[in-house]
Amino acid sequence: MNTQTIPAVENFHILIVKVLPATNTRPAKVKIICELFEQSIIIPFTNHPGASNPATDTALLYLQNKGYDTMGKGEGKDHMYIITNTFKPLK
């Protein structure tokens, strides 16, 4: 019987960030998806000077202005992640 103790790890709230590309009539937008609360929001895309990833930085600034304590970010195949320890709905 294995009696190893599983180390305690902190729980985080992971948000998905996707870019909605521009069309002939509409500018690009950023979609933030919260699977935990089954919500998503769409915000205007802002190209921040010197940004490593403008879409993620747009979402980070939006969330921080809404009171989210952001801990980190990551990249997936066709989307990005924002890691926060704030557990509240987007709306």
The b/e string for 17-48 (b: 16+ C-beta within 10 A; e otherwise) is bbbeeeeeeeebbbbbbbeeeeeebebebeee
Give pLDDT, residue 5.
Answer: 87
Domain ranges of the chain: 13-84
pLDDT given at position 46 = 84
pLDDT tens over the chain, length 91 residues: 677 888 888 999 999 999 999 999 999 999 999 999 999 999 998 877 776 788 899 999 999 999 999 999 999 999 999 999 999 999 8
Classify 15 as helix, strand or coil.
strand
What's this model's pTM, rounded to 2 decimal places?
0.86
83 token code pair: 């890691």
Nearest residue to 63 (alpha-carbon basis) of 89, 37, 39, 38: 89
